[in-house]
Amino acid sequence: MDSTTIYGRNPVIEAIEKGKKIEKVFLQNNLTGEFEVQVRNACEERNIPLTKVPPRKLNDLSRSHNHQGIVAYISPVSYTTVSELIPKLKQDGKVPLLVVLDGVTDVRNMGAIARSAKVFGAHAIVVPAKGSARVSEEMVKSSAGAILDIPLCRENSIPVALETMQMMDVKIYASDINATKTIAEQDLKGPTAIIMGSENKGVSRKAIQIADDSIKIPQVDSFDSLNVSVAAGIILYEVLLQRV
Protein backbone atom coordinates (compact mmCIF):
# COMPACT_ATOMS: atom_id res chain seq x y z
CA MET A 1 0.00 0.00 0.00
CA ASP A 2 1.24 3.50 -0.88
CA SER A 3 2.21 5.53 2.19
CA THR A 4 -0.32 8.25 1.27
CA THR A 5 -3.24 5.82 0.95
CA ILE A 6 -5.37 4.30 3.69
CA TYR A 7 -8.36 2.01 3.41
CA GLY A 8 -10.89 0.21 5.56
CA ARG A 9 -13.80 1.64 7.51
CA ASN A 10 -12.19 2.09 10.92
CA PRO A 11 -8.82 3.47 9.69
CA VAL A 12 -10.45 6.04 7.40
CA ILE A 13 -13.07 7.22 9.90
CA GLU A 14 -10.43 7.43 12.63
CA ALA A 15 -8.16 9.47 10.37
CA ILE A 16 -10.97 11.90 9.54
CA GLU A 17 -12.13 12.32 13.12
CA LYS A 18 -8.58 12.82 14.41
CA GLY A 19 -8.06 15.67 11.97
CA LYS A 20 -5.55 13.99 9.69
CA LYS A 21 -4.79 15.86 6.47
CA ILE A 22 -7.18 14.08 4.11
CA GLU A 23 -6.82 14.90 0.42
CA LYS A 24 -9.82 12.93 -0.83
CA VAL A 25 -12.15 10.10 0.12
CA PHE A 26 -13.46 7.45 -2.28
CA LEU A 27 -16.61 5.59 -1.25
CA GLN A 28 -18.13 2.55 -2.93
CA ASN A 29 -21.04 3.80 -5.03
CA ASN A 30 -23.59 1.20 -3.94
CA LEU A 31 -23.08 1.65 -0.20
CA THR A 32 -26.10 2.86 1.74
CA GLY A 33 -27.12 3.08 5.36
CA GLU A 34 -25.56 4.43 8.52
CA PHE A 35 -21.91 4.17 7.44
CA GLU A 36 -22.51 6.01 4.15
CA VAL A 37 -24.27 8.82 6.02
CA GLN A 38 -21.48 8.97 8.62
CA VAL A 39 -18.78 9.31 5.94
CA ARG A 40 -20.74 11.86 3.91
CA ASN A 41 -21.43 14.05 6.95
CA ALA A 42 -17.85 13.83 8.20
CA CYS A 43 -16.48 14.90 4.81
CA GLU A 44 -18.96 17.77 4.49
CA GLU A 45 -18.13 19.08 7.96
CA ARG A 46 -14.39 19.06 7.23
CA ASN A 47 -14.52 20.22 3.61
CA ILE A 48 -13.04 16.93 2.35
CA PRO A 49 -13.82 15.97 -1.28
CA LEU A 50 -15.86 12.77 -1.48
CA THR A 51 -16.28 10.74 -4.66
CA LYS A 52 -18.39 7.63 -5.12
CA VAL A 53 -16.78 4.98 -7.33
CA PRO A 54 -17.35 1.34 -8.30
CA PRO A 55 -15.65 -1.48 -6.34
CA ARG A 56 -13.11 -2.07 -9.13
CA LYS A 57 -11.80 1.47 -8.72
CA LEU A 58 -11.35 0.93 -4.99
CA ASN A 59 -9.48 -2.31 -5.70
CA ASP A 60 -7.08 -0.37 -7.91
CA LEU A 61 -6.63 2.48 -5.45
CA SER A 62 -5.96 0.25 -2.45
CA ARG A 63 -4.27 -2.58 -4.38
CA SER A 64 -6.42 -4.82 -2.24
CA HIS A 65 -9.89 -6.35 -2.05
CA ASN A 66 -10.08 -5.66 1.70
CA HIS A 67 -10.92 -1.96 1.47
CA GLN A 68 -14.44 -2.44 2.94
CA GLY A 69 -15.84 0.07 0.46
CA ILE A 70 -13.70 3.08 1.35
CA VAL A 71 -10.27 4.49 0.46
CA ALA A 72 -8.70 7.81 1.39
CA TYR A 73 -5.63 9.78 0.36
CA ILE A 74 -3.57 11.39 3.09
CA SER A 75 -2.35 14.79 1.91
CA PRO A 76 1.26 15.91 2.35
CA VAL A 77 -0.02 19.47 2.86
CA SER A 78 -2.39 21.21 5.25
CA TYR A 79 -5.36 23.13 3.88
CA THR A 80 -6.87 26.37 5.07
CA THR A 81 -9.58 28.72 3.75
CA VAL A 82 -9.51 32.32 2.53
CA SER A 83 -11.67 33.40 5.45
CA GLU A 84 -9.01 32.06 7.84
CA LEU A 85 -5.92 33.12 5.91
CA ILE A 86 -6.62 36.71 4.82
CA PRO A 87 -7.16 38.14 8.34
CA LYS A 88 -3.87 36.53 9.42
CA LEU A 89 -2.03 38.07 6.47
CA LYS A 90 -3.40 41.52 7.27
CA GLN A 91 -2.61 41.09 10.95
CA ASP A 92 1.00 40.35 9.97
CA GLY A 93 1.11 43.54 7.91
CA LYS A 94 1.11 41.76 4.55
CA VAL A 95 -0.75 42.85 1.42
CA PRO A 96 -2.57 39.68 0.32
CA LEU A 97 -1.75 38.17 -3.06
CA LEU A 98 -3.63 34.99 -3.89
CA VAL A 99 -3.75 32.79 -6.99
CA VAL A 100 -7.14 31.21 -7.64
CA LEU A 101 -7.10 28.09 -9.82
CA ASP A 102 -10.49 27.76 -11.47
CA GLY A 103 -10.51 24.27 -12.97
CA VAL A 104 -6.76 23.60 -13.26
CA THR A 105 -6.53 19.81 -13.11
CA ASP A 106 -3.10 19.09 -14.57
CA VAL A 107 -0.67 18.09 -11.82
CA ARG A 108 2.37 19.58 -13.57
CA ASN A 109 0.63 22.87 -14.28
CA MET A 110 -0.42 23.25 -10.67
CA GLY A 111 3.09 22.36 -9.53
CA ALA A 112 4.64 24.94 -11.86
CA ILE A 113 2.15 27.59 -10.70
CA ALA A 114 3.03 26.85 -7.08
CA ARG A 115 6.70 27.32 -7.93
CA SER A 116 6.03 30.71 -9.54
CA ALA A 117 3.73 31.72 -6.69
CA LYS A 118 6.47 31.01 -4.16
CA VAL A 119 9.18 32.81 -6.18
CA PHE A 120 7.12 35.94 -6.89
CA GLY A 121 5.63 36.35 -3.43
CA ALA A 122 2.07 35.04 -3.60
CA HIS A 123 0.70 34.16 -0.18
CA ALA A 124 -1.58 31.27 -1.12
CA ILE A 125 -3.15 29.20 -3.87
CA VAL A 126 -6.94 28.80 -3.81
CA VAL A 127 -8.39 25.58 -5.24
CA PRO A 128 -11.86 24.02 -5.37
CA ALA A 129 -12.57 20.98 -3.23
CA LYS A 130 -13.70 19.17 -6.38
CA GLY A 131 -12.19 19.50 -9.84
CA SER A 132 -8.61 20.24 -8.88
CA ALA A 133 -5.35 18.34 -9.25
CA ARG A 134 -4.40 16.16 -6.28
CA VAL A 135 -1.24 17.01 -4.40
CA SER A 136 1.04 14.11 -5.28
CA GLU A 137 4.70 13.18 -5.54
CA GLU A 138 4.67 14.34 -9.17
CA MET A 139 3.24 17.72 -8.17
CA VAL A 140 5.82 18.14 -5.42
CA LYS A 141 8.55 17.39 -7.95
CA SER A 142 7.21 19.76 -10.62
CA SER A 143 6.91 22.53 -8.03
CA ALA A 144 10.47 21.93 -6.78
CA GLY A 145 8.92 21.48 -3.33
CA ALA A 146 7.10 24.83 -3.37
CA ILE A 147 3.69 23.17 -3.06
CA LEU A 148 4.74 22.02 0.42
CA ASP A 149 5.73 25.53 1.43
CA ILE A 150 2.82 27.72 0.30
CA PRO A 151 -0.63 27.72 1.91
CA LEU A 152 -3.42 26.00 -0.02
CA CYS A 153 -6.97 27.24 0.50
CA ARG A 154 -9.45 24.50 -0.37
CA GLU A 155 -12.92 25.90 -0.97
CA ASN A 156 -16.26 24.19 -1.56
CA SER A 157 -17.19 26.91 -4.04
CA ILE A 158 -14.82 29.16 -5.97
CA PRO A 159 -17.56 31.78 -6.60
CA VAL A 160 -18.33 31.94 -2.87
CA ALA A 161 -14.62 32.18 -2.07
CA LEU A 162 -14.26 35.08 -4.53
CA GLU A 163 -17.16 36.92 -2.92
CA THR A 164 -15.64 36.29 0.51
CA MET A 165 -12.36 37.81 -0.65
CA GLN A 166 -14.18 40.86 -2.00
CA MET A 167 -15.87 41.36 1.36
CA MET A 168 -12.36 41.41 2.84
CA ASP A 169 -11.35 44.18 0.41
CA VAL A 170 -9.37 41.91 -1.92
CA LYS A 171 -9.68 42.96 -5.55
CA ILE A 172 -10.30 40.11 -7.97
CA TYR A 173 -8.79 39.98 -11.47
CA ALA A 174 -9.63 37.26 -13.98
CA SER A 175 -6.98 36.28 -16.51
CA ASP A 176 -8.79 36.58 -19.85
CA ILE A 177 -7.32 36.89 -23.34
CA ASN A 178 -10.33 39.05 -24.27
CA ALA A 179 -9.73 41.60 -21.50
CA THR A 180 -9.39 45.25 -22.50
CA LYS A 181 -6.52 46.03 -20.12
CA THR A 182 -3.10 44.40 -19.89
CA ILE A 183 -1.50 43.40 -16.61
CA ALA A 184 0.70 46.50 -16.65
CA GLU A 185 -2.36 48.76 -17.00
CA GLN A 186 -3.94 47.52 -13.79
CA ASP A 187 -3.00 48.59 -10.28
CA LEU A 188 -2.01 45.36 -8.57
CA LYS A 189 -0.33 46.85 -5.53
CA GLY A 190 -3.29 46.45 -3.18
CA PRO A 191 -4.83 43.22 -1.84
CA THR A 192 -5.20 41.12 -4.98
CA ALA A 193 -6.41 37.75 -6.20
CA ILE A 194 -5.64 36.50 -9.71
CA ILE A 195 -7.96 33.89 -11.24
CA MET A 196 -6.33 31.43 -13.63
CA GLY A 197 -8.62 29.17 -15.64
CA SER A 198 -8.40 25.68 -17.03
CA GLU A 199 -6.26 24.88 -20.04
CA ASN A 200 -9.24 24.18 -22.28
CA LYS A 201 -11.97 26.53 -21.10
CA GLY A 202 -10.16 29.35 -19.32
CA VAL A 203 -11.77 31.13 -16.39
CA SER A 204 -15.42 30.19 -15.93
CA ARG A 205 -18.10 32.69 -16.90
CA LYS A 206 -19.36 32.82 -13.32
CA ALA A 207 -15.91 33.71 -11.99
CA ILE A 208 -15.46 36.42 -14.64
CA GLN A 209 -18.83 37.90 -13.67
CA ILE A 210 -17.80 38.07 -10.01
CA ALA A 211 -14.31 39.45 -10.70
CA ASP A 212 -13.78 43.19 -10.33
CA ASP A 213 -11.97 43.29 -13.66
CA SER A 214 -10.10 41.19 -16.21
CA ILE A 215 -6.47 41.31 -17.28
CA LYS A 216 -4.52 39.99 -20.22
CA ILE A 217 -0.92 39.44 -21.18
CA PRO A 218 0.02 41.47 -24.27
CA GLN A 219 0.90 39.39 -27.32
CA VAL A 220 2.54 40.31 -30.63
CA ASP A 221 0.63 37.60 -32.46
CA SER A 222 -2.91 36.25 -32.37
CA PHE A 223 -1.53 32.78 -31.66
CA ASP A 224 -3.39 30.69 -29.10
CA SER A 225 -3.08 31.70 -25.47
CA LEU A 226 -0.17 30.71 -23.24
CA ASN A 227 -0.04 27.63 -21.08
CA VAL A 228 -1.75 28.42 -17.77
CA SER A 229 1.40 27.91 -15.70
CA VAL A 230 3.45 30.19 -17.99
CA ALA A 231 0.71 32.83 -17.92
CA ALA A 232 0.51 32.67 -14.12
CA GLY A 233 4.26 33.21 -13.86
CA ILE A 234 4.15 36.28 -16.13
CA ILE A 235 1.24 37.84 -14.24
CA LEU A 236 2.83 37.22 -10.84
CA TYR A 237 6.09 38.76 -12.06
CA GLU A 238 4.18 41.92 -13.03
CA VAL A 239 2.63 42.04 -9.55
CA LEU A 240 6.11 41.76 -8.03
CA LEU A 241 7.40 44.59 -10.25
CA GLN A 242 4.58 46.84 -9.07
CA ARG A 243 5.13 46.02 -5.42
CA VAL A 244 8.90 46.28 -5.05
Domain end marker among 23, 58, 74: 74
By residue range, what is the domain housing residue 26? Answer: 5-74
- Mapped onto helix, strand or coil, the DSSP state of residue 63 is coil
Q: Are residues 157 and 203 in the same domain?
A: yes
The answer to whether 111 touches 141, Cβ cutoff 8 Å, is: yes
3-state secondary structure of 104: coil
* Count of CB atoms situated within 10 Å of the CB of 9: 14
Task: Looking at the structure, tell me whether residues 96 and 196 fall in a common domain.
Answer: yes
Quote the CA–CA distance of 31 and 42 in Å, as a whole number.
16
HSE-CB for 166 with a 13 A CA cutoff: 14
116 with 202, same domain: the answer is: yes
46: domain CATH number is 3.30.1330.30
How many domains, in total, are found in the chain? Answer: 2
Q: Are residues 144 and 111 in the same domain?
A: yes
DSSP-derived secondary structure letter, 148: G
Question: Is the pTM above the cut of 0.85?
Answer: no
167: CATH: 3.40.1280.10
Residues 168 and 93 in one domain: yes
The DSSP string of 152-219 is EEEES-HHHHHHHHHHTT-EEEEE-TT-SSBGGGS--SSSEEEEEEBTTTBS-HHHHHHSSEEEB---
Using DSSP's 3-state secondary structure scheme, residue 36 falls into helix
Please give the chain's pLDDT, 244 residues, in tens. 445 889 999 999 999 988 888 989 999 999 999 999 999 999 988 888 899 999 999 999 888 888 999 999 988 888 999 999 999 999 999 999 999 999 899 999 999 999 999 999 999 999 998 888 888 888 989 999 999 999 999 998 999 999 999 999 999 999 998 899 999 999 999 999 999 998 788 899 999 999 999 999 998 876 667 899 999 999 999 999 999 9
